[in-house]
A and B are shown apart, each in its own frame.
Chain A
Amino acid sequence: MKNRSLISINDFSKEEYIKILDIAEDFEKNPRQKILENHVIATLFFEPSTRTRLSFESAISQLGGKIIGFTDAASSSVSKGETLMDTIKTVANYSDLIVMRHPLDGSARWASEVAGIPIINAGDGANQHPTQCLLDLYSIRKTQGTLENIHIAFVGDLKYGRTVHSLVIALTQFNATFHLVSPEELKLPSAIKKYIKDAGLNYHQYTSIEAIVDQVDILYMTRIQKERFADPMEYERVKNSYILKNEMLENSKPSMRILHPLPRVNEIEEAVDKNPKAYYFQQAKNGVYVREALIASILGYK
């Protein structure tokens, strides 16, 4: 991993994912290790994403690194019309590693080709958000004791959810069985299903959570946005079928855990938060350990 950029989850081999997860486990036991005291890390957020930025900045701070950067394009030279290439080349002179989020697809790959220092993609438009995928894998392994052979249900917007797409692709390397719960209009795209088929694995499609919740190891919830529906009436008709309530969980496996990339709107009732099967806040916390592991590996300390 040393000096490598992380742009897309497709850049990684199974062994490399596992290596990062193992290092993250060490950081979970001992999250404050001042190994980056001589480093400056830039966090360039060309569009705001407070949650992701704070997770990265917490990871860097716990490792003793210094942070420079901006939190949205309006407060940077980008608003004066500077190209991405010029911003990246300039910041690369001031830092050892750049964490970036940008609204355009492919921006992080382009940045990694001009920077001369490693880039971590913290989200490029609708394309990739690989650290989210790594923390999802970490959370699955942590709660199930393994990544192999799990049954996972994805619920909600499976068409546009980049988080879902990346995690499906990653899990095809671990012999998963996929249960896809979504309204007709928001089914998983065939380009992603192709990864499942090519790996010789199976997927099953449903239109309600109850149809499958009792049989899975992981219930991965996502938000359904009204704007995604061509017909607003259709949204009104289906929206309640994708809201998770405690009573739906009564017969689920004791080891089952609920994940969600957050932020949540209303797709998980707040009463579920107290259910021992709710894991989404711990999942967000795991993001810090995974990001510590990634940064430490890229800078050559792990």
Chain B
Amino acid sequence: MENSLRKELKVAAIENGTVIDHIPSNKLFTAIRILKLDTSSNPVYFGTNMSSKKYGSKGIIKIGDRYFGRDEINKIALVAPTATLIEIKNYKVTNKYKLEIPKEIQSFAKCFNPKCITNHQAVPTKFKVFTDEKGLIKLHCHYCEKTTSQENMVFN
């Protein structure tokens, strides 16, 4: 208990808000951008390259006075499928769940195909999300029918 409390304090504790834990260290800034926390007026704390028993190294984000809808938070499951979400009220954990990879995403990822209509005209992107035989997350473009793999994912 004492041990976990000490770990918790590496990034400031929040009274009310959301903690996103177990983000792969190299995806922390992508997750921040996907959730548009870089332009948020809420207090945002984050840590990265922190040691984790399960994953070796992890990142964590804490957002004060803010809660997320499932659809909104699940967007970051594309880059951080291992992430856990914790809701805090009065310094207490009131809700905790694992993120789920959405089946379909709209408007926030870019299509990898330079000849796709979505990269030339004001067409909101739309993808089916699937995992291939190797368990890798991929996006299938609703328009050009090409597949964007994880290393090529770019987010608006």
Q: Enumerate chain A interface residues (CB-CB to B < 8 A).
A: 8, 10, 83-85, 103-107, 109-110, 124-128, 191
Contact = CB atoms under 8 A, between A and B. Distances in A.
B122 A106 contact: no
Contacts of B134: none
Nearest to A102: B117
Contacts, number: 49
B145 A10 contact: yes
What is the size category of the interface that chain B forms with chain A? 10 to 19
B74 interface: no
B70 interface: no
B116 A109 contact: no
Interface stretch (B27-35, B99-107, B136-144): B136-144
A110 B143 contact: yes
A124 B123 CA distance: 15
A106 B117 contact: yes
A10, A109, A191, most chain B CB atoms within 10 A:
A109
B18 interface: no
B149 to A, nearest CB: 11
Interface in B66-83: none
B36 interface: no
Contacts of B113: 105
Interface of B: 113, 115-118, 120-123, 141-147
27 contacts: A10-B145, A83-B121, A85-B121, A85-B122, A104-B116, A104-B120, A105-B117, A105-B145, A105-B146, A106-B116, A106-B117, A106-B141, A106-B142, A106-B143, A106-B144, A106-B145, A107-B117, A109-B142, A110-B121, A110-B123, A124-B117, A124-B144, A125-B144, A127-B144, A127-B145, A127-B146, A191-B147
Main secondary structure of the interface of A (DSSP, over half): mixed
A106 B118 contact: yes
Contacts of A127: 144-146
Contacts of A126: 115
B145 A110 contact: no
B68 to A, nearest CB: 29
A8, A104, A125, A126, most chain B CB atoms within 10 A:
A104
Contacts of A105: 113, 115-117, 143-146
A124 B141 CA distance: 14
A126 B116 CA distance: 10
Contacts of B144: 105-106, 124-125, 127
A34 B116 CA distance: 38
A109 B115 contact: no
Nearest to A128: B145
A110 B147 CA distance: 17
Given A105-B115, A106-B145, A191-B147, 14 more contacts: A83-B122, A85-B122, A104-B120, A105-B113, A105-B144, A105-B145, A105-B146, A106-B116, A106-B143, A106-B144, A107-B117, A109-B142, A109-B143, A110-B121
